[in-house]
Amino acid sequence: MSTEEEIAIAGGTPMIPDQRRELMLRQLRKHQVLSVHQLMEMFDCSHMTIRRDIAVLEQEGRAYSVTGGVRIASQVHSEPSHQSKAVVELPHKQGMARLAAGLLHPDMTIYLDAGTSTLEIVPHIVALSGMTVVTNDFGVVNALADAAHVDVIHTGGLLDHPNRSSVGGLAAATLRQLATDVAFMSTSSWDLQRGTTTPSALKVEVKQAAMQSASQTVLIATSSKYGTFGMYKVAGLEQFDTIITDAALAEAAADGIRKQRIELLLAPVGGRSK
């Protein structure tokens, strides 16, 4: 029996909330994203009831609020290449980098995790004196190659060709020998329930070593990655002192982060801020 048939059969009988939410999830698996209005029509429910159902699914990590509706939580099986990521949401990343710059001061040792969001922090580092940058990202090294006043340490390790970064045990071993003031961590997927995750087992050890070696940990990631997840867990969100993202983050997610007493910095998006 199809989901549509189940909804139609139940039309004359009030559904219990769990039943309605399971049918809602089936529809989301089929359509990926549905508006609140569509769900109200499907289930003949009030706006408040649908919003309540969405909130429960969000708490369970199975679906996430978007403006005017809800989308299914989706698994990330691979990461896009560095080249393809470089131009995606660039204004958002630049806005987040400006917020990250507020955490910097001269004479710091910082870790920049591999990623195009962390790469945008580089111009703000170059503007300061006495800086040391530790990174596993060849893009960061290249961007700092002409900045002779910045000391740069690359972790070494196994080359991840698509992402132009080093991964694996050797990179992690280097990081365990170092101490940094701040680690700016990237991620391909994150949410309140699962924390930061990755589809790459080789990245986990490196990211965890970088966080353990830092006095302060900062997650920097666009809101578009929220509500997705990879196979391997890196860290719970509570392990970060600060999260920097953009103002398109769903209000429910922002509230959940603040309830965990994590500093949340939101970069304006198209004039929008929270």
Domain boundaries along the sequence of the chain: 3-72, 82-267
Per-residue pLDDT of the chain (274 residues; tens, 9 = 90+): 455 555 544 555 668 888 998 898 899 888 888 898 999 999 899 999 998 888 888 877 788 777 788 888 777 755 655 555 555 678 999 999 999 999 999 999 999 999 999 999 999 999 999 999 999 999 999 999 999 999 999 999 999 999 999 999 999 999 999 999 999 999 999 999 899 999 999 999 999 999 999 999 999 999 989 988 899 999 999 999 999 999 999 888 899 999 999 999 999 986 555 5
The token pair that represents 147 in the structure block? 């900045």
How far apart CA 102 and CA 249 sit, in angstroms, is 20
- Are 155 and 206 in contact by the 8 Å Cβ rule? The answer is yes
Could you give phi then psi for residue 130, rounded to 5 degrees?
70, 25
DSSP label at residue 178: -
Distances (CA, A) of 265 to 28, 104, 216, 237: 30, 14, 15, 14
For 114, what's the count of Cα atoms within 13 Å in the CB-facing half-sphere? 30
Q: Is the pTM of this model over 0.75?
A: yes
Please name the CATH architecture into which domain 3-72 falls.
Answer: Orthogonal Bundle (1.10)
| Fold of the CATH domain 82-267 | Rossmann fold (3.40.50)
Buried-state track 145-156, b at ≥16 Cβ within 10 A, e below 16:
eebeebebbbbe
8 Å CB contact between 70 and 84: no
